[in-house]
Chain A
């Protein structure tokens, strides 16, 4: 470990970081497309919540990374941060015996030491089995939830018009935050869904194309948002509800947006529409009442937290997590 410098990533490291990243992730994935500087910039420079990236360097070369994508979250009446771990890696030449885990663990710990507990309430992710075992043993990952997907099978039907009052949103504006403000209490603990976050997450995404749907009243006031994408989630090719922001007391808005989502899925020839909402939420029951069945997934939501007041049990019972809070779709 003494041969490596472990510190927060600096912009001068990015070229070496991308070289390492593309070498690591192309090894076992024939379909891997190298990450570009623009894509990195979107994830780690343009995110309105900032950046969490720590690296291990061998001389000038990045050989390991612990990175996370932060979200601004409203917790106990103030803005805090939850960060989703992504893109963690150790270069193959630096994985010897326990060294792999140790270099990864040391890099992650450096990040936790700087941000954990002070600004960041939780680090979270959906680790595969091997990453879970290392994280559980070495970094204190705990299980928040074994995730369940809501899936509604769709009968084929000819395309039809979008429901009245629902239209695509080209770019989000200040009404987004007003809508989130109206939903925030019932969402318990949620990422702050404002124009900056939604435009970054959906509209400006460098690779994925999202259909952002807004329901408005006759005065043009935004009453609900749903974001759709055709993507791989549980199955290879599904219509996926990525984001759902609707006050629960306005079922007519919810029904209109759901009808629009079904229409989007049909236009994309998806055989089913899938979503992920926490089981404690009233929406979990609502979607079931509208024909969604609850399916198991292989995803396990794991977290590292920094105090008993905000531990994984608290996250399980309070955190409004959807697919938009993950990098799955």
Chain B
């Protein structure tokens, strides 16, 4: 639900208010990208235009699928988009689907205030009607991290509900290295890898067991998310004992909420594997330090046991500017239950 609404720079150009709301069609990506790059460049001086490769990666190659609704002006311009990245999830062990709403926008040069809002809202309504639900190709939950303007309109027109305020976990690398090296177990071997290990399915099954809701981390997801993403690089490390896979982590160097560091994107370490967890945290800290950064940053649900375990390992909790919102399309999933039992990390978002 990251989306942008900005003021029109020239209201005299806003003369044609007619638009059609529809789903994505093959070939739309050229018009979508043109509008997306124009809109976001106006509000973010550091914005780097999105390439077609990046768009295809995000919306066509995702194993969870993609969802797009558009408002298209009579001259063919895309004037509003509501879009989402599909996530294959397990709900108490049952396969289902969520989606993260991303990249939604309305063109500030299209029409005047109310008509412009209407284009965005109607694209959103079509989006919700098409993709929200328990049917095939639908998402039981849609969620996101909206900016304030998107939150207001989404709350009013699209039923967003606040799930939680978001905090981050942050640890100085020197603290982690000092603590964890002293506790390291010699039988744990940590190795960086450029391929997804064969035993990932068994590892994920053990990891996922305590969570009511968790996005499926399988070969297709990890290869798409971390190994094939254009323009970004991630580092994967695995921990083994006597050859058995005990944990996998993914690290990126960058910034989250304007704070730079080593970003823990994914953490697939089953509970009880404390030695592997310590060894992987030590690898994260050392690798972050070698990259010239001074802190490791992570997201984890504050309702998970991992949240406290990270703090006991040396992480501190810090405020962020983010609010997580969600909408459930099925009676069986309440927002409160989602807050209490859903596992997610930075890698579930499009922030890294």
Measured CB to CB, the residues of A under 8 A from B are 129, 136, 142-146, 148, 279-280, 284-285, 288-289, 293-296, 313, 316
Contacts and interface: CB of A to CB of B under 8 A. Distances in A.
A91 B312 CA distance: 47
Contacts of B155: 142
A142 B316 CA distance: 27
Given A143-B323, A293-B308, A294-B311, A148 B317 contact: yes
Nearest to B317: A294
Contacts of B316: 285, 288-289
Interface string B307-343: 1100110001111000100000000001010010000
Contact of B312 (A142, A284, A293): A293
Interface in B164-222: 164-165, 167
Contacts of B135: none
Contacts of B311: 288, 293-294
Given A148-B302, A279-B165, A293-B311, 4 more contacts: A142-B162, A279-B318, A294-B307, A313-B323
Interface of B: 148, 155, 161-162, 164-165, 167, 302-303, 307-308, 311-312, 316-319, 323, 334, 336, 339
A316 B307 CA distance: 22
Contacts, number: 47
Contacts of A294: 167, 302, 307, 311, 317
A136 B167 contact: no
A288 B318 CA distance: 10
Contacts of B165: 143-146, 279, 316
Contacts of A296: 302-303, 307
Contacts of A136: 161
B319 A279 contact: yes
Contacts of A144: 165
B161 A285 contact: no
Contact of B148 (A146, A293, A313): A313
A224 to B, nearest CB: 23
Contacts of B308: 293, 295
B316 to A, nearest CB: 5
Contact of A146 (B161, B164, B312, B334): B164
B312 A279 contact: no
B317 to A, nearest CB: 4
A289 B317 CA distance: 11
Q: Across chains A and B, which 5 residue pairs bring their CB atoms closest together, nearest first?
A: A143-B162, A279-B319, A294-B317, A146-B164, A296-B302
A77 to B, nearest CB: 24
B117 to A, nearest CB: 16
A94 B155 CA distance: 32
9 contacts: A129-B334, A143-B165, A143-B323, A280-B319, A285-B318, A293-B311, A294-B167, A295-B302, A296-B302
B339 A146 contact: yes
Given A293-B308, A293-B311, A296-B302, A288 B317 contact: yes
A274 to B, nearest CB: 14
Contacts of A293: 308, 311-312
Contact of B167 (A129, A279, A289): A279
Contacts of A142: 155, 162
Nearest to B167: A279
Contacts of B317: 148, 279, 284, 288, 294
A289 B315 CA distance: 10
Contacts of B334: 129
A268 to B, nearest CB: 24
A276 to B, nearest CB: 13
A148 B167 contact: yes
A171 to B, nearest CB: 36
B310 to A, nearest CB: 10
Contacts of A145: 165
B347 to A, nearest CB: 21
Contacts of B312: 293
Contacts of B167: 148, 279, 294
